[in-house]
Chain A
């Protein structure tokens, strides 16, 4: 029976791969639209939250199952305009390019304690209780935006992972930025990433633009026509068309998607960012 693409189930034998590419340029110092926190702060919170949720989801009675590899990279330049493209994980995982979700869960850089609102045992009221909040990445905002070099490095990393996992669900790359590339046209580099494939389908590249203003967000557009500017249209060109499974998931989450919708968000606020991260990963990782 011919296999539908993007149908490989995720298991120890067929691991998944999630790669996050984080813009750490100076403009990430600005507040995120609709928030009083800096974009880099909100981004670090969102990524830490994603890693926390994924480790929890992969955990079983005996520990965390080794079902996926995760990479988190940051890209920026220093004062002398030298590129800095490096893994963003801290603590024991510092410097590692791809790590298993088991390592992620077992080695947070630190565990902060914050009060969170949870349902009380009786009556359904919400109460504030101290909760462990593991941290793997901290906010960074410095220098320029060497996007092409970041995508080039990601291509090499993914090609190697695919050689080792030729029948896995294809890697999902989530790229989060707030501005234009400063080292060239990123579209050919994005195309090269999207052309990589496992036997289950081509690599998926999703792009999310963080807004400094409270402008209306564009989520999963199907055409470039209505997008507000050149940057938005560039990110559209860079982004993968959502496979059916992702399309269905996004629709179930309440998004009104047109055929050909792409894995792209523009003018994203914190809510959009978290929805975007969830869509990009939940749809693939149905771990029942």
Chain B
């Protein structure tokens, strides 16, 4: 990379690799990723397979979070954010032909985890001594983030060890079951810089990666960037058959933080 001073702004380049729990039925994959590279925002959600229209709910959540993530500190704003997107979910399933088992399940709605991140420019002077950009995030549930620099793991979020995985993680529901006061979002706010790799993944892959790390064999996320989707799928299927990874929807989003120099930002370009 030619050194031309600090970048004017940071954005994301990305790759997404995914394999459904039942690889022969990709339409049943309930994991969803959304990235807006120019705005430096991304989100991953893991719809709970046993709930109904969970992919629809997960997709609504990631798109909403990339447009504007929920603010867990402001409970009124969070309630409003959830109400708006729950209404969107209801609108999407209205008119669907429902069997008795669908009707019974719809009362509880769909459930999904959510992990959203966004890049925040530094406040204060620009130039060589400018403070660092920030990598901020919110999470509910067991979708995970790994932040790497030069192939070295800097931090994990929100889960730190494989022992923390639970069969019943916290999830966001598409129906208000009057339990929102129990939603405890985890928050991330750390420095980041150009060249960093941010890995988002759903729980099966995160669990595998943490167990690898705990066994002294850290996952080589950088190598995944150039991996062909078919080769990646074969890798996951092999890990499943060896019982190294849980049979679950398995999704990896690789986000490379890249810098723009000189070019006008979309805002500046008007």
Contact = CB atoms under 8 A, between A and B. Distances in A.
A288 B104 contact: no
B91 interface: no
Contacts of B103: 132
Interface in A65-121: 65, 105-106, 108, 111, 118-119, 121
Contacts of A45: none
Contacts of B49: 60, 287-288
Interface of B: 21-22, 24-25, 27-28, 48-50, 52-53, 55-56, 99-105, 107, 167, 176-178, 242-244, 246-248
Which residue, A12, A56, A105, A288, has most C-beta atoms of chain B within 10 A? Answer: A288
Interface stretch (A3-11, A148-156, A234-242): A3-11
Given A1-B244, A56-B104, A111-B100, 9 more contacts: A3-B243, A11-B22, A52-B101, A60-B28, A62-B28, A121-B176, A131-B104, A288-B48, A288-B248
A121 B27 CA distance: 31
B247 A59 contact: no
A25 to B, nearest CB: 32
B101 A9 contact: no
A285 to B, nearest CB: 9
B177 to A, nearest CB: 7
A63 B100 CA distance: 11
Nearest to B93: A61
B176 A59 contact: no
Top 6 A-B pairs ranked by shortest CB distance?
A124-B178, A9-B247, A59-B101, A132-B100, A287-B50, A56-B101
Contacts of A64: 101
Contacts of A52: 101, 104
Interface in A23-67: 52, 55-57, 59-65
A13 B70 CA distance: 39
Given A286-B167, A287-B49, A61 B55 contact: yes
A179 interface: no
Nearest to A13: B22
Counting chain A residues whose Cβ lies within 8 A of the other chain, the interface size class is 20 to 34
Given A12-B22, A118-B107, A288-B248, A61 B53 contact: yes
Contacts of B246: 9
A134 interface: yes
A176 to B, nearest CB: 24
Contacts of B248: 288
A1 B101 contact: no
A61 B101 contact: no
Contacts of B176: 121
B167 A1 contact: no
Interface of A: 1, 3, 7, 9, 11-13, 52, 55-57, 59-65, 105-106, 108, 111, 118-119, 121, 123-124, 131-132, 134, 286-288
Contacts of A105: 99, 101
A1 B105 contact: no
19 contacts: A1-B243, A12-B22, A12-B24, A52-B104, A55-B101, A59-B99, A59-B102, A59-B105, A60-B28, A61-B53, A105-B99, A111-B100, A118-B107, A119-B178, A123-B178, A124-B178, A131-B104, A132-B100, A286-B167
A283 B147 CA distance: 35
Nearest to A125: B178
A62 B53 CA distance: 9
Contacts of A11: 21-22, 247
Contacts of B24: 12
A288 to B, nearest CB: 6
A124 B178 CA distance: 6
Given A9-B246, A287-B49, A288-B167, A108 B100 contact: yes
A134 B178 contact: no
A145 to B, nearest CB: 34
Contacts of B53: 61
Contacts of A3: 243
A288 B243 contact: no
Contacts of A9: 246-247
Most A CB within 10 A of own CB, among B25, B100, B105, B244 = B100
A55 B24 CA distance: 21
Nearest to B176: A121
Contacts of B244: 1
B216 to A, nearest CB: 16
A7 B243 contact: yes
Contacts of A118: 107
A62 B27 CA distance: 10
A12 B167 CA distance: 20
A76 to B, nearest CB: 30
Contact of A57 (B21, B22, B50, B243): B50
Contact of B105 (A56, A63, A111, A131): A56
Contact of B52 (A7, A13, A59, A132): A59
B104 A132 contact: yes
B111 to A, nearest CB: 10
B39 to A, nearest CB: 30
B197 to A, nearest CB: 28
